Amino acid sequence: MYYNLQHQTCPISKLTLVKLSSHRLVLHYSLFFQQLRQNFSKFIGLAFLSRQVFFVLTMVVLLPISFSNHALTSETANIIHGSAPYLTFDGGRTRMTDTDGLLGIFLSNGEQYTPSDTNSSITKPIELPIAGQTFADIGMLVPTNTNSIALSSLIGTPYNYWGDDDGDGQGINDITATGSLSLTIVDKYNQAVARNEVLTICKSPYKLTLSNTGGTLKTRYGIPNESRFSASNATYYINPKATPVICFVKPNLVNGSSYYTGPANIWNPNKGFLTQSVTPSSYGLNFPTTGAHNLFFDLDIAGNNQALYWKAVSPNGDIKAKMTKSTKNSVRVTLTGPAVTDSSQQRSDNPRRIKRPSLPQTFELVGRDRKGKAVVKYGFVLKQWFVNRGKVYYTYSSTSSWCTKIGDYRVPTVKDLTNTICQDSSSWKCQDAVGVKSSSPNDIYQRHIEAGFFPEWGSMYTYTGAGFGSNSYWTSDANSNNPFVVFLAHGLCVSL
């Protein structure tokens, strides 16, 4: 900073002129006293005295010159270098005077990351120090109520995000700024994220990008009186502090996009069903609620970095969930239970009885570490169990009789199989046959939990070993004594 109350400039030209004049004066008096010495030696012969006189006179003459130089030095010694103005969002505790600081972020535990020293990446993200934090808990120069701001607005009311330790810039128009700063945040699915959204491990890592145009922060007076920022950007990958969780439960994804896509908070076309609850008392909100022999699904695990070990679960001994293909990020769950797998029994009009499972059944699957400690859990409640008769066509009466004889099973209703809304037409008279709460808006099913067998499991052809292959399935609902049929491929309900 330059401390001069009248804001004068340094008198360089005056200094040079005085110095030159001083040199000339010394030379002039040197020649004068040389001549004086010669005269004294010639006429008086007192060499000793001449030396003394010369010394005394020289000191007397040079004294004002030295004093003049001392006074000149006092006049020009008021140049003091202070500190540059800076940007700050916390009252000066953190200060940004260059691009590296401008694009920095600050965690609640005091950790600071800047473009020059961060090494975050998709595979090595920054972890927030406290569970349940939002992006508003991450300090940065972009205010929490906007994603883009001009630096000139940043230094004004209501933000006043600047400071100067030397007190410069306090007058009207004494502080100015140019350039702008912007922020974008997306989750790992490239969906925009609000600053007040709590981070979840299932959407991690998040990508936070700060960018700026070239600009300056400048005070009218002071040395130095400005900080400069070059155009740049910085990207940080961030994870919340969280324990491992099951993010998605993935059955067959065939018939899971476009018209089949369920609500975004229930179904993801690329990942499957979202976990709806981690609380045992509400496991019934999770997929699946229906099941059949040899159907399977995968658990998508996030936030885990170790091998997991799973034990099979069979609450009542008649239906079992067995885990295979376990990795730190996923595990396959296969359901087994009462079934008719012998083709001769499928064709028989008098099949052997099979066990009828007690329902509902609550399953809790637990992934443990090497020491047996529970790392992650997933629970669901089976409320319906289906038995398949194979890939051959049978009449409705034959099917109904066969279901009864294998163990008091029944032919399913339309809503047991699909959430399709039947349309009234000249040939398809099945309107209002579906009464489920999560009805599809179309003539085909929509992926949903507890909305029918096919909406939960998707295309049945791809479950190897489950034995599904028939194109259509009878229902006990009828119109004018004609039972409705639901097509397996897309859940379309028709009356034959």
**34 or 292: whose pLDDT is higher?**
292
Residue 15 has pLDDT above 80, yes or no: no
Crossing angle between the packed helical segments 12-43 and 47-76, to the nearest 10 degrees: 170
Q: Establish whether the linkage from the previous residue to 64 is cis, with ω within 30° of 0.
A: no
Containing 272, the helix (H) or strand (E) segment is strand 272-274
Residue 117's pLDDT band, with cuts at 50, 70 and 90, is: confident
Is there a contact between 282 and 379 (Cβ–Cβ < 8 Å)? no
Residue 420's pLDDT band, with cuts at 50, 70 and 90, is: confident
Percent of the chain with pLDDT over 70: 78
From 308-312, 348-352, 473-477, the region with the lowest mean pLDDT: 473-477
Please, what is the end-to-end C-alpha distance for the chain in angstroms? 93
pLDDT in the model for residue 114: 94
Residues 6+ apart with CB under 8 A from 425: none
Average pLDDT, the chain: 82
Rounded mean pLDDT, 453-466 = 92
The DSSP output letter for 139 is B
From 34-43, 240-249, 400-409, the region with the lowest mean pLDDT: 34-43
Q: What is the pLDDT of residues 231-275, one digit of tens each?
A: 999 999 999 998 999 999 999 999 999 999 999 999 999 999 999
Write the single-letter amino acid at 241: K
Q: What is the pLDDT of residues 243-255, one digit of tens each?
A: 999 999 999 999 9
Distance in angstroms (rounded) separating the CA atoms of residues 380 and 317: 16
pLDDT in the model for residue 225: 86
pTM over 0.85: no
Containing 249, the helix (H) or strand (E) segment is strand 245-250
pLDDT in the model for residue 350: 96
The most distant pair of C-alpha atoms in the chain lies apart, rounded to whole Å, by 160
pLDDT in the model for residue 370: 95
Residue 410 has pLDDT above 50, yes or no: yes
Residue 321 has pLDDT above 50, yes or no: yes
pLDDT in the model for residue 437: 53
Tokens linked to 231: 């155009």
pLDDT in the model for residue 484: 82
pLDDT in the model for residue 226: 84
Distance in angstroms (rounded) separating the CA atoms of residues 51 and 299: 108
pLDDT in the model for residue 315: 97
Residue 493 has pLDDT above 70, yes or no: no
> Under DSSP, is residue 70 helix (H, G, I), strand (E, B) or coil?
helix
Residue 338 has pLDDT above 90, yes or no: yes
Is there a contact between 470 and 480 (Cβ–Cβ < 8 Å)? no
Residue 39 has pLDDT above 90, yes or no: no
Q: What is the 3-state secondary structure (H, E, C) of 177-235?
A: ECCEEEEEEECCCCCECCCCCECCHHHCCEEEEEEECCEEEEECCCCCCEEEECCEEEE
Rounded mean pLDDT, 79-90 = 77
pLDDT in the model for residue 130: 95
pLDDT in the model for residue 485: 84
Q: How many CB atoms within 10 Å of residue 356?
A: 14
Residue 472 has pLDDT above 90, yes or no: no
pLDDT in the model for residue 2: 34
Distance in angstroms (rounded) separating the CA atoms of residues 25 and 216: 50
Q: What is the pLDDT of residues 195-227, one digit of tens each?
A: 999 999 999 999 999 999 999 998 888 788 889
Residue 401 has pLDDT above 50, yes or no: yes
Q: What is the pLDDT of residues 120-163, one digit of tens each?
A: 999 899 999 999 999 999 999 999 999 999 999 999 889 888 88
pLDDT in the model for residue 64: 46
